[in-house]
Amino acid sequence: MEATISAVRALMDAKPRAALGFYPTPLYKLERLSEMLGVSLYIKRDDFSGMSLFGGNKVRKLEYLLGDAVAKGCDTVFTYGATQSNHAMQTVTACRRLGLAPILYLNAYVQPNENDIRSNMLLDRILGAEMHIVEGLDGETEADTEARCFAMGKAHAARLEAQGRECYDIPLGGASYIGSAAFIGGYCELREQCAQMKIDPDYLFTATGTGGTLAGLMAGRRLLDAKAKVIAVAVSRKSAEYEAKCASLANECLEWIGGDKRISAEDITVNRDYFAPGYEQPNEAATEAIRLLARTEGLLLDPVYSGKAFAGLLGHVRGGKITPGSTVVFWHTGGATALFAEKEILGPLAEAEGAC
């Protein structure tokens, strides 16, 4: 028996939440691209989540994460990511809104130029975040560097707490069960909009990095027994255990809100064909996808997350994996500030091109 949207919302409403975003975010049809591709293609504009001009989907998570921090009496927030992390920047923005002190430990996948600070790092600086840039050591993997960032943050928080501060730790991408559960509410929102528009999507595409957004969406889909197949496009290398990790996180979300259903790794579909050569590294498919959406619908994607996810959607349609006439929703996770990042992240998008 499927849960009703009102019942799921009641479970979510019982949790502490900071009002940071603007919901519902728009859902509408991409008319020109739908005609071109032969499917009914809709876009869910979670890049409009707010709260600033530079919004993105992490605001949903931060409403519950920082709601929990405030409820626990915390005054300082630690989080992590790459130097151009959307999550880190949005965390700083939300902390300023709530009067919390933000501290960042950032992994330098791309080495920033102190004489030309750009994009999210520039915003972090304007917002006055305390930033610690951590460079990878020789022979160290990305996971090793991230682990070192976490250890440094934990030690820093311990020093502050010894001085009487109350610290709150947010993992990469806000991908804890508290943050990820926000997308259960996001899925309810999508279902309400679809009902109003009299559509019933066959597919839902989204980018996946740390897995929090995917876990929350899958939990919401399971609670509502929706038919739309969720296809997540990986934006970085994922282990064979990634699906199981996301399923476990989704089940933690369901348990946290008191939902009575669970999912397994077999319920989760992750496409790994579009991330290469790596995180924050551009590729031809993403570049083409960004240009196509910009030139048909006047909408911008980013080269790190949404561009690669949209490339995956295009590949599925063009490759015949999606039946012509299907209804497809693309969940736009935001991140357009990456279009103003270092050229190593932008790739060919920063180069001159012939007239279109």
Spacing of C-alpha 264 from chain mean position: 21
Angular region, 3: left φ>0, alpha ψ -120 to 50, beta rest: beta
Instruction: Tell me if 77 sits within 8 A of 66, measured CB to CB.
Output: yes
Residue 192: burial class (beta carbons within 10 Å; 0-12, 13-18, 19+): middle
Question: Which of 40, 49, 85, 236 does the annotation list as catalytic?
Answer: 85
Tokens of 183: 């997308």
Query: Is residue 119 within a helix (H) or strand (E), and if so which, with residue range?
Result: helix 119-126
**Which residue, chain included where needed, has tokens 């990042």?**
341
Spacing of C-alpha 235 from chain mean position: 11
Instruction: Tell me if 297 sits within 8 A of 42, measured CB to CB.
Output: no
Active site annotation includes 6: no
Other Cβ atoms less than 10 A from the Cβ of 2: the count is 12
Amino acid at 142: E
Active site residues: 85
